[in-house]
Chain A
């Protein structure tokens, strides 16, 4: 069983064989599932915590501040200390709240984002489920989260929460369209819904560069719509601190609040991952046709670092948005989607189909 950081396929398949030879198929699959589940859970927690840390550092950097700097070197363990605090806080019961729905809502939100992570290709061979409808699956499960938000707002017995939840419902239902349509543009270009095939298809050039102008437009629309879908500034109307105090999670405390908080950051991670996979070549290194020496140097960097670097860049761009722009109003938000992004997207799909038909893409 050899471990090759550039291609983890042989490692995972030989591990699979080892289990299959020594155990019955049922137990082999069960053990694999448990291992992957635990691995994703640990990954989820660590990434979530460090995205919070990263956001605090990035926003501090933009606001002429230092940011967390007391717990550990450069405040590196700040978010872990915060998590411990949140774990130990009291879960305040709300009068006249719908108890069942109130308690179930954070789990729906976090499960939705957890399910989406399973289908994301992190590196060659580091891919939990490789569906033939991978991108379709991610879209489906990641839009489940809004149900949790709606339930949270409805069951809290708080008018601010209700307004926040209704805003969020209107917002996510609208922006889901743009996200879906901009991804379909790339699906037309790649000719596949399977994420591994989509990434393989970008071996000689990322779709952002090979897909002509329609791919570029789709990328920009996706960035805007994805930011809106994750309820982040300047589209954070569901929380809208200055208007609705904390929107749909006003009444939540302790670890239930932490679930919403974590899910928000993980959703940001997921949409950044999708953007990277669909537009920026996933874990593929950056190649320029004809430049052999340059391509070889690029190949020397392991795929996981390519993936992590690109995702970090997209996340940074989304944080940049958030800490620079004021918040939109609800009617302006819906105008942006229905009057601008959606028509642009529909025309863009037709252009892309035409480009692919004529073979004009690179």
Chain B
């Protein structure tokens, strides 16, 4: 460390510390190189590469049906929405009209996925602040959604339910009943979250005015999703460019303008209410029909470039496919929300305390395999 100071990398009384790759609250194998002065954070340098699997390169060797299963492994908390993004791109390229039934089911599944992900985020955010009890309350309710997934899909986390042209299989006969039961159940349980954590004065002290991100900064850094909407950046793809059955549902975009950790927290809590709203509007109106469009067994996209974006749980997720007419893509690029969101961490955490850095990281809801593909 003496050498580092004399070389001018560190100022006097500063010290560097590695947070991660193994650390309880980096939510995965993220490594943050911190410069600290006492308890105050002077600089955050996120280092990636600990869970790099070369997914985009692997996609070039796989058919379009197979790529779906790799997108599960990006943001594993919103697997269904990521699957949908690839399916939409392929369907868009082939100009296939998927049945309305598929669109409804995809939307409902996506929103269930969003609620499940926000529940787990709430668990982890409480843990980051030191309130360990939140973890079990969130997981208790998330279990109900996973049971619904398991009944219809067979998987609980890495769903791979969407395939190009439709769905893997039709919904379980109990699906609608179970989802409605869950909505009534969770409408009763969600206020418990507020009672346990949101209203707590310690929690409010820890989050209000911490990790400020203005709207301009959010746009400049490409911070999207609930984190961007906490800063007042209207970026909900479901509203601005409706896909699947979102245009059939009436819902509003959750916007908070404070731009602090608490605003980002509130956006996610409110989004859970809004997602339940969407599901309630759609669940009774699922039209009859096929669960998949008629597709050829070997999919070959016409030569060209295709891009689709969807609103994943943590922000805008984009799929960019370049096709040379073969059954495998020529190049695939994913625009993952977490990677852009991470870039704003240094900006938000400077001159804050170590404990605030953890709270900010929690409020951004990082999923590391999504950044580090």
Contacts and interface: CB of A to CB of B under 8 A. Distances in A.
A25 interface: no
Nearest to A331: B353
B136 A243 contact: no
Interface residues of B, number: 30
B17 A160 contact: yes
A332 B355 CA distance: 11
Contact of A163 (B39, B128, B196, B202): B39
Contact of A326 (B140, B197, B354): B197
Contact of B200 (A323, A325, A332): A325
Given A63-B136, A242-B130, A243-B25, A326 B353 contact: no
Given A234-B202, A245-B24, A327 B355 contact: yes
A16 interface: no
A60 to B, nearest CB: 9
Interface string A318-331: 00000111111111
Contacts of A236: 130
B140 A234 contact: no
B127 interface: yes
A160 B128 CA distance: 16
Interface residues of A, number: 29
B136 A326 contact: no
A332 B133 contact: no
B266 interface: no
Contacts of B130: 233-234, 236, 240-242, 325-327
Contacts, number: 82
Which of A59, A63, A234, A326 has its CB near the most chain B CB atoms (within 10 A)? Answer: A326
B17 A159 contact: yes
A326 B17 contact: no
Interface string A327-362: 111111000000000000000000000000000000
Contact of A242 (B133, B196, B358): B358
A65 interface: yes
A167 B355 CA distance: 12
A159 B353 CA distance: 15
Nearest to B17: A159
Interface string B186-218: 000000000011001011011000000000000
Nearest to B353: A329
A240 B355 contact: yes
B52 interface: no
Which of A160, A233, A244, A329 has its CB near the most chain B CB atoms (within 10 A)? Answer: A329
Nearest to A158: B17
Interface of A: 59, 62-65, 159-160, 163, 167, 233-234, 236-237, 240-245, 323-332
7 contacts: A64-B137, A234-B202, A242-B129, A243-B354, A329-B205, A329-B353, A329-B355
